[in-house]
Amino acid sequence: MLITADGHTRQVKVGSVSLSFYPLHVMIDKSKNGDLFVLHIIREGLLLTGSPVPFENIKSSFRQRSNYEKEIRAAADLGWLIVRFGAEFDDKLVQRRVSWCIRTVLIANSVQSGHPTFSSEKLSTLYPAYAVTRLIRQKDEPISSETFPLLRDFLIEYGKTDPCPDAVAPNDYLGHFERTENAVALHFLASQDKKENKDEYSSS
C-alpha cells in the first residue's frame, strides 16, 4: 500500500503484484471514522520507505468506535447472497469474498470486545468453531460442497438473518445493497454481469 499526497484511490496490478494507492486525506478521514482497515494498518503495518510523518498523522487521527454493527451487517448481507446464489458467480471471487465475510464479522467482534485481532491464525484461535477454521482460509481453497452450508451456519450462529428472504435471483438483493451503501456487495453483484458476458462470448 502506498500513501499519496493527492489524487484518487486506485489499484495497479503489475504481474502478480497488486499495489493500492490511497490519498493521505482519505486515510485520515477513514482513521477519524474508526475504519477497520485503517486500524489493521496502524496496529500491524510497517513503514518501508518515505517520511514517517503521514503514517503518524494517520495513527494519531484514529478514533475507535464502540459499535461496528454496520460493518458486521454488510459482511453478513453479502454472506447470505453467497449462501443462496454463490454458485452463479466466479469461483475465485466467491472464495475471496467468503473469507472476507468471515474475517470482517470476526474482526469487528474482536474490536468491539476490546481485543482487536486480525490474523487468520489468531482469529481461528479466538473463535475455534469448525466453520470459522474452515472458511477463514477459503480464499486459498476451492469451493466445496460444504462451503455454502458452513457459511449459512456461521451467519445463523452470529444472529444475522437473510435481508432478502424472498429473493429468487441475485439481483433481488440490489435494492438492499444500494440502500445500505454496501460497496463490496454491489461490486460482487456487478461481477455476475461480467461473468455472464464472458460466458456468452466464449460460447459463441
pLDDT score of 194 more than 60: no
What is the C-alpha separation between 187 and 76, in angstroms, rounded?
A: 15
What is the C-alpha separation between 199 and 57, in angstroms, rounded?
A: 47
Q: Which pLDDT value is given to residue 173?
A: 98
Taking residues 133-159, report their average pLDDT. 92
Residue 19 contacts residue 13 (beta carbons within 8 Å): yes
% helix, strand, coil for the chain, step of 5: 60, 5, 30
> Is 0.85 topped by the overall pTM?
yes
Q: Which pLDDT value is given to residue 199?
A: 47
What is the C-alpha separation between 13 and 17, in angstroms, rounded?
A: 6
Instruction: Give 201's pLDDT tier (boundaries 50, 70, 90).
Output: very low
Element (H, E) at 48: none
What is the C-alpha separation between 42 and 55, in angstroms, rounded?
A: 8
What is the C-alpha separation between 137 and 5, in angstroms, rounded?
A: 35
* 96-134: pLDDT as tens digits: 999 999 999 999 999 999 999 999 999 999 898 888 989
Question: Per mean pLDDT, which of 19-28, 42-51, 77-86 is the most reliable?
Answer: 77-86
Q: Which pLDDT value is given to residue 2?
A: 81
- Read off the C-alpha cell for 96: 475471496
Residue 166 pairs with which residues in a beta bridge? Answer: none
Element (H, E) at 19: strand 17-23
